[in-house]
């Protein structure tokens, strides 16, 4: 965190000053480790084993926060009899179809309530039917369209609250299933999988559990060290399970903070640049499944919790897009929305480029030739487009690959043969335009423009607004139905000094009521078209016609929650699910951790934050049978976005690779999975293309682990740092980091050159021999890890090979992100040049026995 | 004149001739919270328009700046130290690959420490650079800091060997000397120096030297209470060889480990005594000469 988020890390240092213990788990010893109380070196990609053992430690020593766990999680829920665990199936959960590689989650569901109402009985019948048929067909379609991720905001809807055993004794209740599932995750197993000594494991476990409970809370921070794996979503799930068992969610000082890759990644998920969701995590409509507005919202509408009001959010979004043209008669222009037909994620799109199905590409502040996994695939794709638009601050590698990319050097691409027409458009930087950043706490912070952009550089807002205007001008007068969505768009923003006013856009996102005035909360949104809102979770950011994100009242002028600095979605609520900061009866868990509680006299929830609950819902409230939406939230259901109001230790729906996490090895690994016969995530998404061959696991040809990472001195793919003298001089050359043991084994010289090889390609880098990278002892086996900062490419002041060219594309099946861990060989000296390089890599592939007929398999199974 | 050249001196600016002056300002750099982000180096260069210092991968851990110099006014040192007790500690900053290659670094051993420290001109109470400057290019400001005026400097370079810390340096292609000004221009406007402003963890603290010394003493005490026995102050003692630094440090190891001299002494400390000896010798010579003439007359 100190390495990649030094500014945010000031608060960790502040906490440390006040007595917090800082534990850092990372394959390399970083700037964070340097100031942490404990550094735990771990084998890259083995985090589920480590976290799972912490879960086991909590469960087997009765260290969970029992009252919290029983009341606020689904620990008490009884799971259907047909569920089978990895314990039963040697690393698989029930419902796996080896043909398609897809799970059918029908056996993971809650047992029905003991006394069912008519609606529930009908649903039970349907589910039984579904299980009998157990055809993967529907699920396949749904997973291909990434429905599992698009459940994000509400969680997947469960059919009922289900049967609960609050003694937690029922053998099929989640608590007992969890206990059995994690029983094999022992400290000794951690040593064998992660290379962490049992003593050190116990030190961490002790620190964690003694700092959790009524009086104390613990927070987790993670970044792509968890996210960029073929089991990334499940790594984060393991941390969620742990934090829930310890009662560290919804309480001050608790939580799990996702540290984003760069500024406003959170914002670009809330108002997404992703293919499968719309603003506010509304699922993107599917061409086959959602023919009408009704069908689109049917799955979620009316379900318990605030997500049950999905129609209001959806209709208000359509009103924001199409304004007056959107009416009840035309389904609020629902038919104008584009549809998904399957997986259109970034790597699948790149494959589509190579195969010729994707013809044009916009790159906006993104440099995939350096920043994405398997750079060769990216460049081969871009070389096969009709047109490519690059908007950036610098002439990045993704704009010049056609004349100086690595494939030009090897002859794999020839400039004269590349038909792609590249348009480079200079962009304004963040100080040259006004706008907001949304950070990991979901906080929007507005920044004003400091200086005018130089020359022809323009903001994204200006660019897209004018692009829209020009297209609409060209289409003006068209009678073609196809052009209606563009012509009917509400595309009119005020400008100041020739620039579109960003605050007007923020106001549109906030939403307006029937009188045209800014709304102040998403609870005001209506399904009848009388309100308009560009992103329902952002509703309130422009309350009282004031840009609330621009508030900058310093923390020393307000209380510790500092609610007048910026604005946090939803409803300026600083901690989500904060009903959980009080005990089931509504009193604070402890004086020390008092945050939001029930005031019986006033008959409402009060405290230092905006309560994340129905304001006047008493703790003892039991919803009436058949209640819908927020009315169905019980007084002790803090997780108000879930249909059952409980946090899920076990996910009965919504995940593509199992209801609970299980440790699988990365797609390329020198280690046999010590936990199960199943080596890799069985549901991982493979990308089948000759440019993406996978190293066989356990290969003597590729005996080492490599992982990529960042340096403080550089920014992501480097366009904003290795083009600047003051940053370049601080880290002037690409390098790799190796342990003294590995250096001795391969004859690598400190300061000398090394060539790092995978089945994709080979790169060269200078060598830093350092004890900051550890040799890990896994039982009898030593595992060496090669650390690779990934910031470099062929352009800029400081140039070099891109580490991401080594990374393969095998994806997490929930979110389609690659695994940043792989295997490699490392040899002293510089790499071969030109055609010799391809021959060199080809020789490695041959010796390792890479099956080029099925390059995506890796041959581990 | 007492203590103008060495020893304790409480009013530096007053001694330099300022009758009515602001309090002495300086830096307290607490390396125990430094995360090595180098924001200080970059902020310094941006504000003071210092040119880049070359693109050289040094191999000295993450330190590619190397040392303070004419084009580096803040320098973050990175020291990798093995905690393996069997390793002989030479007390020198890590240069090149760690010693003891082989089995020493598998998981579960004692691990390593990575020390980081942002170094800067010390703005000495007794600044030899200033004392030896023949042109008056180096001067003491009303804030008690030491600043070079580039438009006066003639590039004689006398100050370079005079500095006991090796801070001030000549820019080769230019000839003149440059160093940290403690952002004299910002101070005049009541602003914090660029490096301290940019520091995310308050490792670099700017303020009145008397207050900073108190804060530093408290911090050392606090760390000792927590069992961090290695914490110590460097340059905070007004009775040390330079009369105390205007920019001083909290270190977690011996100064040599960070590349700092253990016991710096102002190089002009003995100037008075030297001149007195020279005077005495001259007087003796004159006396002998006179005596010889006197003798001859006899």
Q: How far apart are alpha carbons A476 and A472 in whole angstroms?
A: 6
Q: What is the pLDDT of residues A549-583, one digit of tens each?
A: 999 999 999 999 999 999 999 999 999 999 999 99
Do residues A217 and A245 make contact, with C-beta atoms less than 8 angstroms apart? no
**Residue A779's pLDDT is what?**
85
Closest partner CB to B107 (pick from A712, A777, A797): A777
Contact check, Cβ <8 Å, A750/B96: yes
**Residue A541's pLDDT is what?**
98
Using CA coordinates, name the residue in chain A closest to B82.
A771
Q: How far apart are alpha carbons A671 and A651 in whole angstroms?
A: 29
Do residues B100 and B84 make contact, with C-beta atoms less than 8 angstroms apart? yes
Of B36, B25, B40, residue with least CA distance to B182: B25
CB B297: neighbour CB atoms within 10 A? 6
Strands A387-392 and A421-426: parallel
Q: How far apart are alpha carbons A840 and A849 in whole angstroms?
A: 14
Q: How far apart are alpha carbons A227 and A233 in whole angstroms?
A: 6
Average pLDDT over residues A753-761: 98
For residue A183, give how far its alpha carbon lies from the nearest alpha carbon of chain B (Å). 24
Residue A158 has pLDDT above 80, yes or no: no
CB A183: neighbour CB atoms within 10 A? 12
pLDDT band at A497 (very low <50, low <70, confident <90, very high): confident
Structure tokens at B232: 């110590």
Q: What is the pLDDT of residues A810-838, one digit of tens each?
A: 999 999 999 999 999 999 999 999 999 99
Q: How far apart are alpha carbons A698 and A703 in whole angstroms?
A: 7
Do residues A309 and A525 make contact, with C-beta atoms less than 8 angstroms apart? yes
Percentage of chain A lying above the pLDDT 70 cut: 96
Q: How far apart are alpha carbons A623 and A302 in whole angstroms?
A: 14
Q: What is the pLDDT of residues A687-734, one digit of tens each?
A: 999 999 999 999 999 999 999 999 999 999 999 999 999 999 999 999
Q: How far apart are alpha carbons A532 and A513 in whole angstroms?
A: 7
pLDDT band at B81 (very low <50, low <70, confident <90, very high): confident
Contact check, Cβ <8 Å, A10/B202: yes
Closest partner CB to A6 (pick from B35, B53, B107): B35
**Residue B159's pLDDT is what?**
96
Q: How far apart are alpha carbons A112 and A118 in whole angstroms?
A: 12
Closest partner CB to B103 (pick from A195, A727, A741): A741
Of A138, A151, A81, A302, residue with least CA distance to A654: A151
Q: Is A512 on the interface with B (CB under 8 A)?
A: no
Which residues of chain B neighbour A20 with C-beta distances below 8 Å? none
Do residues A55 and A649 make contact, with C-beta atoms less than 8 angstroms apart? no
The correct CATH number of B12-96+108-289 out of 3.90.650.10, 3.40.50.2300, 3.30.70.20, 3.40.1440.10 is 3.30.70.20
Helix crossing, A198-210 with A47-60: angle to 10°? 60
DSSP three-state, residue A830: coil
Closest partner CB to A770 (pick from B36, B98, B103): B98
Which residues of chain A neighbour B89 with C-beta distances below 8 Å? none
The residues near A570 (Cβ < 8 Å, ≥ 6 apart) are A442, A522, A537, A539, A540
Of A771, A717, A701, A703, residue with least CA distance to A741: A771
Q: Is the peptide bond before A96 cis (omega within 30 degrees of 0)?
A: no
In degrees, to the nearest 5, what angle opens at C-alpha A34 toward C-alphas A53 and A40?
15
CB A115: neighbour CB atoms within 10 A? 7
Which residues of chain B neighbour A35 with C-beta distances below 8 Å? 32-35
Kindly write down the DSSP assignment for every residue of A714-727, as one continuous string.
S-TTSTTTTTSHHH
Do residues A809 and A687 make contact, with C-beta atoms less than 8 angstroms apart? yes
Average pLDDT over residues A57-76: 98
Contact check, Cβ <8 Å, A782/B106: yes
**At the top level of CATH, which class does the domain A685-848 belong to?**
mainly beta
Cβ-count burial B239-252 (b if 16+ within 10 Å, e if not) = ebbbbbbbbbbbbb
Closest partner CB to A744 (pick from B46, B102, B202): B102
Using CA coordinates, name the residue in chain B closest to A27.
B107
Q: Is A740 on the interface with B (CB under 8 A)?
A: yes
Which residues of chain B neighbour A197 with C-beta distances below 8 Å? 107-108
pLDDT band at B106 (very low <50, low <70, confident <90, very high): low
Residue B297 has pLDDT above 70, yes or no: no
Q: What's the helix, strand, coil split of chain A in %, to 5?
A: 35, 15, 50
- State the sign of the Cα–Cα–Cα–Cα dihedral A6, A7, A8, A10: positive
Structure tokens at A643: 């249909």
Residue B192 has pLDDT above 60, yes or no: yes
**Residue A643's pLDDT is what?**
84
Q: What is the pLDDT of residues A576-603, one digit of tens each?
A: 999 999 999 999 999 999 999 999 999 9
ipTM associated with this complex: 0.91
Contact check, Cβ <8 Å, B52/A725: yes
Closest partner CB to B105 (pick from A34, A730, A740): A740
Q: How far apart are alpha carbons A308 and A627 in whole angstroms?
A: 11
For residue A728, give how far its alpha carbon lies from the nearest alpha carbon of chain B (Å). 7
Structure tokens at B205: 């603290």
Top mean pLDDT of A47-61, A338-352, A635-649, A768-782 is at: A47-61
Residue A840 has pLDDT above 90, yes or no: yes
Mean pLDDT of chain A: 93
Q: Is A741 on the interface with B (CB under 8 A)?
A: yes
The residues near A132 (Cβ < 8 Å, ≥ 6 apart) are none
Contact check, Cβ <8 Å, A729/B55: yes
Do residues A784 and A739 make contact, with C-beta atoms less than 8 angstroms apart? yes
**Residue B95's pLDDT is what?**
45
Which residues of chain A neighbour B42 with C-beta distances below 8 Å? 726-727, 730
Contact check, Cβ <8 Å, B33/A711: no
Do residues A39 and A26 make contact, with C-beta atoms less than 8 angstroms apart? yes
Q: How far apart are alpha carbons A120 and A124 in whole angstroms?
A: 6
Q: Is A754 on the interface with B (CB under 8 A)?
A: no
Residue B298 has pLDDT above 60, yes or no: no
Using CA coordinates, name the residue in chain A closest to B31.
A35
**Residue A118's pLDDT is what?**
76
Q: How far apart are alpha carbons A78 and A175 in whole angstroms?
A: 9
Cβ-count burial A519-558 (b if 16+ within 10 Å, e if not) = bbebbebbbebebbbbbbbbbbbbbeeebbbbbeeeeeee
Kindly write down the DSSP assignment for every residue of B39-74, as one continuous string.
HHHHHHHHHHTPPP-------BTTB-S-S-BTTBSE
In degrees, to the nearest 5, what angle opens at C-alpha A217 toward C-alphas A64 and A640?
80
Which residues of chain B neighbour A772 with C-beta distances below 8 Å? 80, 112, 114
| Burial (CB count within 10 angstroms: exposed 0-12, middle 13-18, buried 19+), residue B139 | middle
On the CB side of A315, CA atoms within 13 Å amount to 22
**Residue B97's pLDDT is what?**
44
DSSP three-state, residue B232: strand
pLDDT band at A741 (very low <50, low <70, confident <90, very high): very high
For residue A8, give how far its alpha carbon lies from the nearest alpha carbon of chain B (Å). 8
Contact check, Cβ <8 Å, A29/B65: no
Which residues of chain A neighbour B106 with C-beta distances below 8 Å? 741, 774-777, 782
Candidates B65, B71, B99, B106, partner chain A, best to mutate (most A CBs within 10 A): B106
Mean pLDDT of chain B: 88
For residue A30, give how far its alpha carbon lies from the nearest alpha carbon of chain B (Å). 8
**Residue B296's pLDDT is what?**
61
Q: What is the pLDDT of residues A474-495, one digit of tens each?
A: 999 999 999 999 999 999 999 8
CB A495: neighbour CB atoms within 10 A? 11
**Residue B266's pLDDT is what?**
87
Contact check, Cβ <8 Å, A771/B42: no
Contact check, Cβ <8 Å, A34/B35: yes
For residue B99, give how far its alpha carbon lies from the nearest alpha carbon of chain A (Å). 9
pLDDT band at A145 (very low <50, low <70, confident <90, very high): very low
Q: Is A782 on the interface with B (CB under 8 A)?
A: yes
Higher pLDDT, B14 or A116: B14
**Residue A33's pLDDT is what?**
95
Q: How far apart are alpha carbons A641 and A280 in whole angstroms?
A: 13
Contact check, Cβ <8 Å, A29/B112: yes
Q: How far apart are alpha carbons A689 and A670 in whole angstroms?
A: 23
Q: What is the pLDDT of residues A256-315, one digit of tens each?
A: 999 988 888 999 999 998 999 999 999 999 999 899 999 999 888 878 788 889 999 999
**Residue A156's pLDDT is what?**
61
Domain layout of chain B by residue ranges: 12-96+108-289
Q: What is the pLDDT of residues A390-442, one digit of tens each?
A: 999 999 999 999 999 999 999 999 999 999 999 999 999 999 999 999 999 99
**Residue A84's pLDDT is what?**
97
Structure tokens at A294: 């009704």
**Residue B286's pLDDT is what?**
86
Which residues of chain A form CATH 2.40.40.20? 685-848
Q: How far apart are alpha carbons A11 and A15 in whole angstroms?
A: 6
**At the top level of CATH, which class does the domain A41-258 belong to?**
alpha beta
For residue A34, give how far its alpha carbon lies from the nearest alpha carbon of chain B (Å). 5
Which residues of chain A form CATH 3.40.228? 41-258
Structure tokens at A254: 């608790």
Q: How far apart are alpha carbons A223 and B16 in whole angstroms?
A: 53
For residue A246, give how far its alpha carbon lies from the nearest alpha carbon of chain B (Å). 27
Q: How far apart are alpha carbons A71 and A251 in whole angstroms?
A: 15
Cβ-count burial A320-348 (b if 16+ within 10 Å, e if not) = bbbbebbeeebbbbbebbeebebbbbbbb
Q: Which residue has the tokens 């290019």?
A: B137
């Amino acid at each position: 965190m100190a390495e990649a988020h030094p500014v945010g890390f000031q608060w960790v240092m502040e906490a440390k000053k006040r007595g917090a213990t800082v534990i850092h788990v990372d394959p390399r010893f970083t700037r964070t480790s340097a100031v942490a109380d404990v550094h735990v070196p771990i084998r890259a990609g083995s985090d589920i084993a480590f976290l799972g053992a912490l879960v086991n430690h909590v469960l087997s020593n009765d260290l969970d926060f029992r009252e919290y766990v029983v009341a606020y999680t689904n620990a008490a829920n009884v799971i259907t009899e047909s569920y089978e665990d990895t314990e039963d199936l040697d690393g698989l959960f029930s419902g796996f179809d080896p043909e398609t590689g897809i799970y059918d989650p029908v056996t993971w569901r809650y047992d029905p309530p003991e006394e069912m109402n008519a609606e529930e009985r009908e649903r039970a019948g349907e589910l039984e039917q579904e299980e009998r048929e157990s055809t993967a067909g529907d699920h396949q379609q749904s997973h291909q369209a990434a429905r599992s991720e698009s459940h994000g905001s509400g969680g997947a809807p469960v059919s009922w609250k289900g049967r609960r055993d609050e003694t937690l004794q029922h053998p099929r209740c989640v608590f007992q299933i969890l206990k059995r599932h994690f029983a094999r995750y022992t400290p000794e197993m951690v040593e064998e999988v992660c290379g962490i000594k049992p003593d050190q494991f116990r030190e961490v476990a002790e620190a964690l559990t003694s700092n959790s409970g009524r009086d104390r809370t613990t927070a987790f921070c993670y970044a792509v060290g968890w996210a960029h794996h073929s089991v990334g979503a499940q790594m984060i799930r393991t941390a969620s399970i742990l934090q829930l068992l310890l009662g560290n969610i919804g309480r001050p000082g608790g939580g799990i903070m996702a540290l984003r890759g760069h500024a406003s990644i959170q914002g670009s998920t809330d108002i997404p640049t992703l293919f499968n969701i719309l603003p506010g995590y509304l699922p993107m409509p599917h061409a086959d499944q959602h023919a009408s507005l009704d069908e689109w919202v049917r799955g979620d509408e009316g379900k318990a919790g605030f997500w049950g009001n999905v129609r209001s959010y959806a209709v208000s979004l359509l009103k924001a897009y199409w304004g007056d043209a959107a009416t009840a008669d035309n389904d609020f222009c629902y038919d104008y929305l584009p549809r998904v037909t399957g997986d259109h994620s970034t790597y699948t799109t790149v494959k589509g480029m190579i195969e010729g199905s994707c013809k044009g590409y916009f790159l906006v502040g993104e440099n995939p030739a350096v920043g994405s996994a398997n750079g060769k695939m990216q460049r081969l794709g871009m070389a096969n487009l009709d047109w490519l638009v690059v908007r950036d601050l610098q002439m990045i590698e993704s704009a010049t690959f056609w004349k100086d990319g690595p494939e030009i050097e090897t002859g794999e691409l020839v400039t004269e043969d590349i038909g792609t027409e590249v348009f480079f458009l200079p962009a304004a930087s963040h100080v040259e335009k006004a706008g907001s950043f949304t950070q990991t706490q979901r906080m929007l912070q507005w920044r004003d423009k400091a200086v005018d952009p130089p020359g022809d550089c323009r903001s994204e807002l200006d660019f897209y607004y004018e692009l829209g205007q020009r297209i609409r001008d060209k289409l003006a007068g068209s009678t073609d139905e196809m052009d209606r969505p563009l012509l009917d768009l509400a595309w009119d923003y005020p400008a100041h000094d020739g620039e579109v006013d960003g605050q007007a856009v923020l106001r549109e996102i906030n939403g307006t009521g029937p009188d045209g005035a800014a709304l102040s909360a998403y609870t005001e949104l209506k399904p009848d078209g009388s309100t308009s809102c560009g992103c329902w979770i952002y509703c309130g950011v422009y309350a009282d016609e004031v840009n609330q994100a621009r508030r900058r009242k310093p923390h020393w002028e307000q209380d510790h929650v500092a609610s007048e600095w910026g604005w946090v979605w939803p409803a300026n609520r600083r901690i989500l699910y904060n009903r959980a900061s009080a005990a089931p009866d509504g009193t604070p868990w402890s004086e020390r951790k008092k945050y939001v509680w029930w005031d019986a006299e006033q008959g409402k929830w009060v405290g230092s934050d905006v309560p994340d609950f129905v304001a006047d819902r008493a703790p003892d409230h039991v919803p009436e049978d058949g209640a819908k939406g927020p009315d169905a939230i019980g007084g002790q259901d803090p997780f108000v976005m879930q249909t059952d109001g409980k946090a899920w230790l076990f996910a009965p729906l919504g995940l593509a690779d199992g209801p609970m996490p299980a440790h699988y090895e990365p797609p390329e690994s020198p280690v046999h999975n010590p936990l199960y016969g199943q080596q890799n995530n069985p549901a991982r998404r493979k990308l089948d293309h000759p440019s993406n061959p996978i190293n066989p696991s356990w290969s003597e040809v590729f005996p080492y682990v490599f992982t990529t990472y960042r340096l403080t001195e550089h920014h992501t793919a480097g366009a904003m740092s290795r083009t600047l003298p003051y940053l370049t001089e601080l880290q002037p050359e690409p390098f790799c980091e190796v342990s003294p043991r590995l250096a001795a084994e391969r004859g690598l010289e400190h300061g000398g050159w090394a060539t790092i090889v995978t089945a994709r390609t080979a790169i060269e880098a200078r060598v830093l021999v350092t004890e900051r990278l550890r040799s890990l002892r896994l039982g009898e086996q030593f595992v060496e890890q090669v650390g690779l900062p990934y910031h470099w490419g062929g352009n800029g002041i400081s140039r070099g090979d891109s580490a991401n060219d080594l990374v393969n594309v095998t994806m997490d099946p929930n979110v389609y992100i690659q695994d940043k861990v792989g295997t490699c060989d490392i040899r002293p000296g510089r790499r071969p040049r030109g055609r010799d390089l391809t021959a060199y890599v080809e020789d490695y592939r041959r010796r390792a026995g890479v099956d080029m007929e099925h390059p995506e398999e890796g041959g581990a199974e | 004149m007492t203590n103008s050249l060495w020893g304790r001196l409480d009013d530096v600016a007053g001694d330099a001739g300022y009758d009515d002056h602001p309090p002495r300002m300086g830096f307290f750099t607490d390396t125990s919270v430094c995360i090595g982000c180098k924001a200080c180096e970059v902020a310094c260069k941006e504000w003071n328009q210092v040119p880049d210092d070359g693109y050289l991968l040094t191999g000295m851990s993450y330190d590619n700046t190397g040392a303070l110099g004419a084009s580096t006014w803040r320098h973050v040192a990175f020291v990798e130290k093995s905690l393996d007790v069997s390793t002989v500690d030479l007390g020198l900053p890590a240069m090149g690959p760690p010693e003891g290659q082989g089995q020493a670094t598998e998981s579960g051993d004692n691990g390593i420490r990575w020390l980081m420290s942002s170094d800067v001109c010390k703005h000495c109470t007794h600044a030899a650079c200033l004392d030896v400057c023949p042109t008056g290019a180096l001067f003491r400001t009303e804030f008690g800091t030491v600043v070079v005026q580039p438009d006066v400097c003639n590039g004689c370079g006398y100050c370079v060997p005079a500095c006991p810390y090796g801070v001030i340096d000549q820019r080769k292609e230019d000839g003149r000397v440059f160093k940290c000004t403690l952002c004299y221009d910002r101070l005049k406007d009541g602003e914090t120096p660029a490096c301290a402003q940019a520091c995310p963890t308050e490792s670099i603290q700017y303020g009145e030297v008397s207050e900073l010394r108190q804060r530093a003493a408290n911090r050392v005490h606090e760390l000792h209470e927590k069992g961090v026995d290695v914490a110590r102050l460097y340059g905070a003692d007004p009775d040390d060889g330079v009369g105390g630094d205007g920019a001083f440090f909290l270190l977690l190891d011996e100064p040599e480990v960070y590349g700092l001299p253990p016991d710096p002494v102002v190089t002009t400390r003995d100037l008075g005594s030297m001149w007195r000896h020279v005077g005495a010798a001259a007087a003796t010579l004159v006396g002998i000469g006179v005596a010889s003439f006197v003798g001859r007359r006899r």
